[in-house]
């Protein structure tokens, strides 16, 4: 069931932010940033990096991003990273430390706490559940 949720989340996010070809305003900009997030999920970013990519101030970018996605930019990016971590846990033999390093987390304990906060399970608990 959890695997289906992950596929559904990825599927929905891939369509929910498609740009309207007639309108080249914030939707296109936000879609570009989301694509950048997905392509660079293993990198560390600050919100100012995303705002600069979109050519907006941090506050304006945050406002536009939240209006379009329902999440703050950093929240959204962390969800993408946790989604990727779930895939590693489900389909690889990498240990938690390797996964946290692969996803750019400097501290595997922070990664584990964040994972549990987002999913309700520790990374090892998630792997053992076979979801």
Which residue ranges form the domains of the chain, and what is each CATH number?
Answer: 17-77 (1.10.10.60), 78-129 (1.10.10.60)
Q: What is the CA radius of gyration of the chain?
A: 16
Q: Could you read off the pLDDT of 109-129 as tens digits, one per residue? A: 999 999 999 999 999 999 998
Q: Could you read off the pLDDT of 22-57 as tens digits, one per residue? A: 444 567 899 999 999 999 999 999 999 999 999 999
Burial of 46 (0-12, 13-18, 19+ CB in 10 A): exposed
Q: How far apart are CA 32 and CA 96, in angstroms?
A: 30
Say if CB 6 and CB 86 are below 8 A apart. yes
pTM for this one? 0.76
Say if CB 94 and CB 111 are below 8 A apart. no
Q: Could you read off the pLDDT of 1-17 as tens digits, one per residue? A: 555 555 555 656 555 44
**Average per-residue pLDDT in the chain?**
86
> What does each C-alpha distance from 120 to 1, 50, 117, 126 come to in angstroms?
15, 28, 6, 9
């Amino acid at each position: 069931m959890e695997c289906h949720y992950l596929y559904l989340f990825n599927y929905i996010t891939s369509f929910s932010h498609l740009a309207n070809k007639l309108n080249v305003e914030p939707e296109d900009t936000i879609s570009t940033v989301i694509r950048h997030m997905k392509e660079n999920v293993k990198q560390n970013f600050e919100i100012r990096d995303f705002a600069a990519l979109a050519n907006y101030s941090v506050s304006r970018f945050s406002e536009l991003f939240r209006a379009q996605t329902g999440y703050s930019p950093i929240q959204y990016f962390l969800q993408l990273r946790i989604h990727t971590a779930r895939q590693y846990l489900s389909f690889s033999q990498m240990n938690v430390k390797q996964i946290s390093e692969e996803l750019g987390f400097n501290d595997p304990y922070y990664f584990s706490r964040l994972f549990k906060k987002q999913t309700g399970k520790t990374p090892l608990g998630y792997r053992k559940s076979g979801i």
